[in-house]
Chain A
Amino acid sequence: MGDLKASRRDAVEVGEGAGFITTRAEDLLAWAQKYSLFMYPYVTACCGMEFMAVTGPRFDFSRFGSEAPRFSPRQSDLLWVVGTITQRQAPVLKRIYEQMAEPKWVLAFGTCAAVGGFYDNYACVPGIDKVIPCDVYVPGCPPRPEAVLDGLMLLQDKIQRGEHSPTTVTPRFDPARHPKLALHQLRRSRG
């Protein structure tokens, strides 16, 4: 995760004694863009349930300025690919991506959208990046809402920095490796 506060400090400089700020036009534009992501949910599979959880009040990703769904790709700038993409859907996905207006971003939600998951077969696309460029990958089957929020904040960080290389959400800590959680002792006591 990038440090959002640090990146904002780079973008907007508050002058001494306040009353005025200085910034660059593209920074201001990026700052505005990252908090007004109009999403296009392309939900195809079981990850959709977790997507609903993220949009719901408990996790509430409206906090990040991205709650407005637009069901026309021409009015949206963040494509959420949620779920398995079959070979037969690939032309549709590609067309939707092409119809979106610039600037546009793509978030692969879940392992299937990211790499195809266990669908290593004739029917499925092994990751949407084989068909369209992808900015953020959120692995998980399905990913926890926290991971999705991490992915969204990662994307906002990328938008602010004007970066276009693909990034992956990684766990902040792996519970299996964490000594304080003492999972290994728990397992040992179970035999």
Chain B
Amino acid sequence: MAQSLVELICQHFSGAVVATHAEHGDETVVVTPELWHRVAEFLRDEPAASMNMLVDLTAVDYPDRLPRFEVVAHFLSLSLGHRLRLKTRVGGGDGSGAELDTLTDLWASANWMERECFDLFGVVFRSHPDLRRILLYPEFVGHPLRKDYPAERAQPIVPYREVPNIDKLAPFGPDEGMSFGRKTYDLRDRAEVEDDC
């Protein structure tokens, strides 16, 4: 069903479609960033598509590829009952130049999802009505879901208290608290020791 939709897009935007593939019955179309907005508008307005719901919009960071970010949008047609995944690739190696046209004028639900995408990945959506951070605080520097952001680098708003013995795990032992350094008990060995006693 969505296969015919992919063919429809390929006919209308023959130069814009970079790649198509299907995974578990879900069709994906990768388009150039310049035509991102136009393809989305076509998907909404074309009667054969009539995608009246933008389910999700997010990005994926592939630090090794050259258009670094892949922005993904999931569409659903409530009237026709089919889905389509639309992707595009933006951004230089250092994350600069990741810019796209906003979809907020087509689906209101794009507003917060684009803000989240901007907050966590730093993808800028042109002519977005209110492009601010949505999950993190304005003082935050950087975009934490980029692969080059160190996972444990916190930027506290409230400075941590200056108290002795307040390092990360106090008052717990060094093997408690964090799952990464947790002890594993070999019950079998201990049982043998207890049997000997």
Contacts and interface: CB of A to CB of B under 8 A. Distances in A.
Interface of A: 87-88, 90-91, 94, 111, 114-118, 120-127, 129-133, 137, 139, 166-168, 176-177, 179, 183-185, 187-188
B156 A125 contact: yes
Question: Main SS of chain A's interface residues?
Answer: loop
A106 B170 CA distance: 16
Contacts of A133: 161, 163
Contacts of B168: 115-116, 126-127
Question: Main SS of chain B's interface residues?
Answer: loop
A130 B161 contact: yes
Interface residues of B, number: 32
A131 B160 contact: yes
A122 B144 contact: yes
A137 B191 CA distance: 31
A121 to B, nearest CB: 5
A91 B158 contact: yes
8 contacts: A111-B177, A122-B155, A124-B154, A129-B163, A139-B172, A168-B171, A184-B188, A187-B188
A137 B171 contact: yes
Nearest to B151: A121
Interface string B177-189: 1111000010110
Contact of A177 (B154, B158, B190): B190
B185 A176 contact: yes
Contact of A122 (B153, B170, B176, B178): B153
Contacts of B188: 184, 187-188
Contacts of A132: 161
A132 B149 CA distance: 28
Contact of B154 (A87, A94, A129): A87
Nearest to B189: A184
Contact of A114 (B137, B155, B177, B187): B177
A91 B157 contact: yes
Contacts of A124: 154
A125 B187 CA distance: 34
B78 interface: no
A32 B152 CA distance: 44
B104 to A, nearest CB: 24
Given A127-B168, A131-B160, A176-B185, A184 B155 contact: no
Contacts of B157: 87-88, 90-91
